[in-house]
Every structure is written in C-alpha cells, then in structure tokens.
Amino acid sequence: MVNANNPSHYKLIIGGLFVTLFGIYVKQFIEHSTIVDLIGWALTFIGAFISIAGVLRVLKD
C-alpha cells in the first residue's frame, strides 16, 4: 500500500506547477499571436490537470 507521504505524488504536483507556470510565461512574455496564445493556454490547462491529478492521488491514498 502506498501512503500519502510518497514523494512521487509531490513530484507530480510540482511538475504540473512548472508546466502551468511555463504556459503562463509563454502567454505573457512571448510575442502575442494566436498560435502562441493557444500553446500557452494548452500548457496552462495540461499543467493544471497534472497538478489536480497529483492532489487527487494524495487524497486517494
């Protein structure tokens, strides 16, 4: 049985936060165009889903 203190859960959350922050960086600081904004939004949502999955994994255990 895996417990909630497993470091892999928290690595997943931190990884998701980094992906989210990179998506925000892409949206805000790189030249604004439709494709760059879409990539930034996609990275932001993917990172958020990764972080939420990590939180749910902690809550499950």
**According to the model, what pLDDT value does residue 47 have?**
95
User: Taking the model in full, what pTM does it have?
Assistant: 0.83
- Quick one: what percent of the chain has pLDDT higher than 90? 46
In three-state secondary structure terms, 37 is: helix
27-31 mean pLDDT: 82
pLDDT tens by residue, 30-53: 877 888 889 989 999 999 999 999
Domain boundaries, given as residue ranges, for the chain:
8-60
Rg, Å, the chain Cα set: 14
Residue from 57, 46, 60 nearest 17 by CA: 46
**Mean pLDDT over each residue of the chain, to the nearest integer:** 88
Q: What's the CA angle centered on 48, arms 44 and 51, to 5 degrees?
A: 140
